[in-house]
Amino acid sequence: MGSLVNDEPGEQMEVNTVIPLNDKSMETFPTENSYMTKPGYRSEEEGEDENRETWSKKVDFLLSVIGFAVDLANVWRFPYLCYKNGGGAFLIPYLVMLLVGGIPLFYMELALGQFNRTGAITCWGRLCPLFKGIGWAVVLIAFYTDFFYNVVIAWCLHFFISSFTGQLPWVTCNNAWNTDLCRADALTHPGNSSNLTDTLYNISFIGNFTNQTMEPQLIANMSKSPALEYFERGMLEVHKSGGVFDVGYLKWQLVLCLLGVYLICYFSLWKGIHTSGKVVWFTALFPYVVLFILMCRGATLPGAADGVRYYLTPNFTSLASSEVWVDAATQVYFSLGPGFGVLLAYASYNQLNNNVYRDALLTSAINCLTSFFSGFVIFMILGYMSLKSNVPISKVATEGPGLVFVVYPEAIATLPGATFWSIIFFLMLLTLGLDSSFGGSEAIITALGDEFPILRKHREIFVAVLFAIYFLFGLASVAQGGVYVVNLMERFAAGYSILFAVFFEAMVVSWAYGAEKFAEDIEVMIGHKPGRYWMWCWKFVAPIFLMTIMIFGLVHYTPLTYENYTYPLSASLIGWAIALSSILCIPGFAIYSIITAKGTLMQRLSFLLTPQNNREAKIRKSINTIKVNENNVGDHV
């Protein structure tokens, strides 16, 4: 083997490119079949990663990814979709969409982040300079999303603090915010589902007919539960707002809650992943403790078995509906969360030799099992409420904020020790929301910090400024009509735009960069290439998966509403402008790059479609350099 160095001058030249590290440095290089740590050397090309921090422990990374993926939607959306779309039969389209669309995209983004070891902007600029706009689009989407998502977390914090009372404030109808329509037994009347969509009435309209000549049954059907009035009138005070352009006064309680959320986020993220990686040990694991406790308590309640039966009883005829399959695809995609730049950012702090394939399968499986498990907890309580109030489960079951801020608190209030159950439930929601918010913020911080190193050097100040901007712009969302702003942002901030961005991600990786080349990158990290199944999903199935969701959403588009309020056209136009502002980053940056590049049009396109740095080749060069260096040293021993 020693003669190889002497006989091949080209190999000898590579030895000269090796630069000794200081005594404290160590770099990990892959061998053909495994990975070894080689102290004392680094290649010039890989020097850019020398100072990048890595996770203190592998479990910190796993909990961060799980915490991001497992969020409020796992509790308030999946169980309802399962019940709505055929019970146990819904698991069939859900698993199909998970295997052909969700996990492949999840795996792709983790692998991209780990191999390139940069945030979204720099990563896409290296991968395919023409489409660097994908990185900017992803950052902008994450930025918009945090505006409304952190407000919902502030609601959770408000409910959590309000639970520390002798009597929960959503139990009685003798509070200052209650109306004459409030009835403590409102849920017992058919037609009153405690669903925000079905039971919020225009007070001025109802007031015209509330008189002694009304039919008793009509009055009953128009009544509201204390929990609904607390959420609608006590906390939000949305009745004092005229709409999205007349949000009224700031709610100082919600302002303080929003400030509290940002303070928690700041002190969890200001020092980087070494602090957030420790915080997620609580925020990611505590929800499972609470879900287990609630399941044990729910199993002892009368009617729990009926609730589970409603949840799981299969109706296979529902599988013939295209809406069921689109619901499954949508839930899978938005639950796993590829495209926000979070998975890419978290994975960029991994060691190069981390088994990203195993991590992708493990974390996505845990996320989906959590959704399924939470369904038991939710429907046990709904079954109990149905039996207790003599209302069909179909009238109690709902999704979204109406479930966790109205129906579930109402159920908890009927249990012995209601204060305890309320505290742990809303603390669970708070932690579910926080670690997802950590992920969205870290995606922005990492992307901008890698693109502009001066921001990374002054991370504490940068994060403080970022959250200050969030807080100031978010004040409109904690006014009396703030829910209208939240609903507008939720509809347009990360709906079509994130699907559009990830569609381009899949197409660029598979066709511009090349699926085969991407597979070789993965081989460098884990020692073997992805199978044909993954290649097929990345190249064909995942783009079709995303396009189907987009087309179905556009075909079934309806004007934006919130309860009985229809948004004016100008508000919808603002919403579409928000969505387009991120989408247009992709073609906009591509056009700008073509205009500013040098050479003929074909030369410009050729340059912009070529990876900026061939990381896979550089790593393999480092491997060969180390081998040659070892052999050379052996010849002189």
Distances (CA, A) of 239 to 99, 177, 183, 220: 45, 10, 18, 21
Distances (CA, A) of 233 to 159, 184, 198, 277, 635: 14, 15, 16, 38, 82
| pLDDT at res. 26 | 38
Alpha-carbon span 250 to 202, nearest angstrom = 22
Instruction: Give the residue-averaged pLDDT of 588-601.
Output: 95
The more confidently predicted of residues 593 and 614 is 593
Beta strands 565-566 and 35-39 are: unpaired
211 assigned to some structural domain: no
* pLDDT tens column, 21-79: 333 333 343 333 333 333 333 333 344 556 789 999 999 999 999 999 999 988 888 98
* pLDDT tens column, 473-527: 999 999 999 999 999 999 999 888 999 999 999 999 999 999 999 999 999 999 9
Q: Is 367 annotated as a binding residue?
A: yes
Is the pLDDT score of 546 beyond 70?
yes
Domain that holds residue 572: 52-168+242-596
Q: Are residues 404 and 506 in the same domain?
A: yes
213 assigned to some structural domain: no
The more confidently predicted of residues 519 and 315 is 519
| pLDDT at res. 166 | 84
Residue 544 sits in a domain of what CATH number? 1.20.1740.10
Q: CA 188, 169, 406, 236 torsion: positive or negative? A: positive
pLDDT band at 614 (very low <50, low <70, confident <90, very high): low
CA atoms within 13 A on the CB side of 633: 6
Is the pLDDT score of 540 beyond 90?
yes
501 assigned to some structural domain: yes
Report whether 265 contacts 437 (CB < 8 A): yes
Which contacts of 606-615 are long-range, i.e. CB under 8 A and separated by 24 or more positions? 607/129, 608/128, 608/129, 608/130, 609/128, 609/129, 609/130, 609/512, 610/129, 611/126, 611/127, 611/128, 611/513, 612/125, 612/126, 612/127, 612/129, 613/45, 613/126, 615/115, 615/116, 615/126, 615/521
Q: CA 154, 156, 157, 162 torsion: positive or negative? A: positive
Instruction: Give the residue-averaged pLDDT of 7-13.
Output: 40
| pLDDT at res. 615 | 53
Q: Are residues 95 and 23 in the same domain?
A: no
Tokens of 346: 């978290």
Q: Are residues 543 and 574 in the same domain?
A: yes
The answer for 603, left when phi > 0, alpha when psi is -120 to 50, beta otherwise, is alpha
Report whether 508 contacts 604 (CB < 8 A): no
Instruction: Give the residue-averaged pLDDT of 307-312.
Output: 89
Report whether 177 contacts 229 (CB < 8 A): yes
Q: Are residues 430 and 386 in the same domain?
A: yes
Question: In percent, how much of the chain has pLDDT > 90?
Answer: 67
How many other CB atoms are found less than 10 A from the CB of residue 414?
A: 16
Alpha-carbon span 464 to 457, nearest angstrom = 14
Q: Are residues 293 and 337 in the same domain?
A: yes
How many other CB atoms are found less than 10 A from the CB of residue 633?
A: 12
Tokens of 577: 């402008």
Tally the domains of the chain.
2
Is the pLDDT score of 298 beyond 80?
yes
355 assigned to some structural domain: yes
Q: Are residues 39 and 129 in the same domain?
A: no
Residues 6+ apart with CB under 8 A from 117: 49, 52, 348, 349, 352
Is the pLDDT score of 212 beyond 50?
no
217 assigned to some structural domain: no
Q: Are residues 560 and 537 in the same domain?
A: yes
Q: What is the largest CA-CA distance in the chain?
A: 107
Q: Are residues 15 and 105 in the same domain?
A: no
Q: Is 87 annotated as a binding residue?
A: no
Is the pLDDT score of 563 beyond 90?
no
Report whether 307 contacts 383 (CB < 8 A): yes
Tokens of 116: 């390139």
Q: Is 74 annotated as a binding residue?
A: yes
Alpha-carbon span 162 to 418, nearest angstrom = 12
The more confidently predicted of residues 196 and 372 is 372
Residues 6+ apart with CB under 8 A from 265: 150, 434, 437, 438, 441, 467
| pLDDT at res. 221 | 55
Q: Are residues 22 and 156 in the same domain?
A: no
Instruction: Give the residue-averaged pLDDT of 587-596.
Output: 96
Alpha-carbon span 537 to 542, nearest angstrom = 5
Instruction: Give the residue-averaged pLDDT of 579-589.
Output: 96
| pLDDT at res. 619 | 58
How many other CB atoms are found less than 10 A from the CB of residue 529?
A: 16
195 assigned to some structural domain: no
Alpha-carbon span 399 to 407, nearest angstrom = 10
Q: Is 510 annotated as a binding residue?
A: no
pLDDT band at 585 (very low <50, low <70, confident <90, very high): very high
> Among candidates 12, 30, 23, 48, which has minimal Cα distance to 453?
48
The more confidently predicted of residues 574 and 612 is 574
pLDDT band at 122 (very low <50, low <70, confident <90, very high): very high
Q: Is 432 annotated as a binding residue?
A: yes
| pLDDT at res. 393 | 82
Instruction: Give residue for tokens 């948004």.
Output: 567
pTM of the model: 0.85
Q: Are residues 470 and 558 in the same domain?
A: yes
| Dihedral angle over CA of 324, 328, 334, 337, nearest 10 | -160
| pLDDT at res. 95 | 94
Helix (H) or strand (E) holding 260: helix 252-269
229 assigned to some structural domain: no
* pLDDT tens column, 388-412: 888 888 777 777 788 889 989 999 9
Alpha-carbon span 125 to 357, nearest angstrom = 24
| Dihedral angle over CA of 84, 85, 86, 91, nearest 10 | -120
Report whether 142 contacts 148 (CB < 8 A): no
Report whether 563 contacts 202 (CB < 8 A): no
Is the pLDDT score of 356 beyond 50?
yes
> 3-state class of 424 per DSSP?
helix
> Among candidates 197, 193, 177, which has minimal Cα distance to 564?
197
Cα-to-chain-centroid distance, residue 5: 51
Q: Are residues 521 and 630 in the same domain?
A: no
How many other CB atoms are found less than 10 A from the CB of residue 408?
A: 26
Q: Is 67 annotated as a binding residue?
A: yes
Distances (CA, A) of 138 to 32, 124, 177, 202: 34, 11, 41, 39
Q: Are residues 152 and 272 in the same domain?
A: yes
| pLDDT at res. 222 | 67
468 assigned to some structural domain: yes
| pLDDT at res. 629 | 52
